Amino acid sequence: MADQSPKTCVPLTVLAEDEQLFYASVLEFADKRIRPLVREMDEHAKAPRSLIDELFGLGVMGIEIPETFGGAGATFFHSVLAVEALSRVDPAIGLLVDVQNTLVSNALMRWGTDDMKRRYLPALATKSVGAYALSEAGSGSDAFAMAARATERDGGYAINGRKLWISNAVEADVFIVFANVNPEAGYRGITAFVVERGTPGFTVGQKEDKLGIRASSTCELLFEDCTVPKTQVLGEVGKGYKVAIETLNEGRIGIGAQMIGLSRGALVHAVAYTKERKQFGKAISDFQAVQFQLAQAATELEAARLLVYNAARLRDARKPFLQEAAMCKLFSSQVAEHVTSLAVQLYGGYGYVKDYPVEKLFRDAKVGQIYEGTSNMQLQTIAKTLIS
């Protein structure tokens, strides 16, 4: 006889108790501790170190790092929840936490030697910010065409070259840096290194003056005969392309989380404002045209959230998620552009000035279509999975 017992199938958006508590505590922190600083951080393009220290204290800088190394020993999904909650209030802080967890600690946990894990994971969980340096001036979407070189010298490697657009560069102590040890082998020469701030020959260059996520630092890195011992190779020599591809496949789910977080932030503001703002003798939320615009935005956001959560859950379940990760980033960044634009629209003239929060979220949204693989690169990945 067929099994009649009810099947348990947890809906994607139903969070486990610990996930609910975690999300609520990060959101409360964002509301109380980050919200009052958002405008100033945006204007000065800087996140104060005291706030970063509080993020360490909150336990969101080493979410997946095992407890034995001082981290929270939680899941990738928890990282997604943290980035989402923080990005509701400030997507620049969402990115800082995203890079730390989904790229830097993630790569070290997966590819680092035991010695590396002992040296870096406890610091990353408690006090050190990390950065991930792949892009260069001449190689963005075509990242593996990088010009940075690493040559064997004195029992180690001398790194020469420049990296561009590196998030967290001002604050970071630990940098994952990609360089080619054997250009003739093409991408099979690419190698990942862990480089510490202060290593001779390594300097952090100019900071970019950006449209959005201004409190997240984005800088050039310069390497001039920066010599590191062989023990600083992350993963295998010549396998850096694998480190990059696999971490970025996961990292882009984090960007999806940033996009749904900021979209939610904008939508919450838009709903509240339309209920308050009166024209023609009534709240503008009483007009059906406005209601339908809000309803459309809420629907798109829910669809994006499902894509992001599904990709993250697949990753934690160790199931394939390449296509789902690309879709979630592609779609959530499109939704973010639409929802934040609508929020500005519904605020009218007040949406166009810095005194209200939606102008910033509108500026912050655009980068979701650019970094960790542009929208065209996501489409390329999705298309490959369809036709291969």
> Which tokens hold the place of 248?
């970025």
Q: Is residue 291 within the footprint of ligand FAD (CB under 6 A)?
A: no
Within positions 207 to 246, which residues make up the interface with ligand FAD, using CB under 6 A?
210, 218
Q: Is residue 179 within the footprint of ligand FAD (CB under 6 A)?
A: no
Instruction: CB nearer to ligand FAD: give 103 or 270.
Output: 103
- Distance, in Å, from the CA atom of 297 to the CA atom of 286, rounded to the nearest integer, reads 17
Amino acid identity for residue 89 in this structure: V
Instruction: CB nearer to ligand FAD: give 105 or 218.
Output: 218
Q: Is residue 134 within the footprint of ligand FAD (CB under 6 A)?
A: yes
Sign of CA dihedral 128, 92, 324, 175: negative
CB of 295 to ligand FAD, least distance (A): 31
* Residue whose Cβ sits closest to ligand FAD: 140
Q: Is residue 20 within the footprint of ligand FAD (CB under 6 A)?
A: no
Residue with tokens 């900071």: 207
For the question of residue 64 being annotated catalytic, the response is no
Maximum Cα–Cα distance for the chain, whole Å?
A: 78
**Comparing C-alpha atoms, which of 369, 371, 373, 364 is closest to residue 92?**
364
Q: Is residue 371 within the footprint of ligand FAD (CB under 6 A)?
A: yes
Amino acid identity for residue 249 in this structure: N
Instruction: CB nearer to ligand FAD: give 166 or 314.
Output: 166
Residue with tokens 């080619």: 180
Instruction: Pick the stretch among 32-40, 119-127, 344-352, 366-374 that binds ligand FAD (CB under 6 A).
Output: 366-374
Q: Is residue 83 within the footprint of ligand FAD (CB under 6 A)?
A: no
Q: Is residue 206 within the footprint of ligand FAD (CB under 6 A)?
A: no
Q: Is residue 102 within the footprint of ligand FAD (CB under 6 A)?
A: no
Pick from 166, 172, 259, 325 the residue near ligand FAD by CB under 6 A. 166
Pick from 79, 87, 167, 333 the residue near ligand FAD by CB under 6 A. 167
Within positions 324 to 353, which residues make up the interface with ligand FAD, using CB under 6 A?
none
Instruction: CB nearer to ligand FAD: give 250 or 372.
Output: 372
> Alpha-carbon Rg of the chain, whole angstroms?
21
The one catalytic residue in 64, 84, 220, 372 is: 372
Instruction: Pick the stretch among 40-48, 292-300, 314-322, 368-376 that binds ligand FAD (CB under 6 A).
Output: 368-376
Instruction: Pick the stretch among 135-143, 189-197, 199-207, 229-237 that binds ligand FAD (CB under 6 A).
Output: 135-143
- Distance, in Å, from the CA atom of 20 to the CA atom of 117, rounded to the nearest integer, reads 29
Contact 221, 204 (CB under 8 A): yes
Instruction: Pick the stretch among 30-38, 144-152, 160-168, 298-306 that binds ligand FAD (CB under 6 A).
Output: 160-168
Specify the 3-state DSSP secondary structure of 165.
strand
CB of 174 to ligand FAD, least distance (A): 13
Alpha carbon 100 to its chain centroid, in Å, reads 8
Instruction: CB nearer to ligand FAD: give 134 or 307.
Output: 134
Half-sphere exposure of 171 (CA within 13 A, CB side): 27
Residue 178: C-alpha distances to residues 6, 30, 161, 218, 328 (Å): 50, 33, 10, 17, 26
- Number of residues near ligand FAD (by CB under 6 A): 19
CB of 371 to ligand FAD, least distance (A): 4
CB atoms within 10 A of CB 124: 26
Pick from 66, 126, 374, 382 the residue near ligand FAD by CB under 6 A. 374
Specify the 3-state DSSP secondary structure of 221.
strand
Instruction: CB nearer to ligand FAD: give 321 or 371.
Output: 371
What angle in degrees, to the nearest 10, is found between the helix axes of 91-98 and 49-58?
A: 60
CB of 195 to ligand FAD, least distance (A): 14
- Distance, in Å, from the CA atom of 283 to the CA atom of 306, rounded to the nearest integer, reads 31
Q: What is the DSSP letter of 104?
A: I
End-to-end CA, the chain: 41
CB of 15 to ligand FAD, least distance (A): 29
Residue with tokens 């050190």: 128
- Distance, in Å, from the CA atom of 287 to the CA atom of 307, rounded to the nearest integer, reads 31
Q: Which residues bind ligand FAD (CB under 6 A)?
A: 99, 132-135, 140-141, 165-167, 210, 218, 367, 370-372, 374, 376-377
Q: Which residues are catalytic?
A: 372
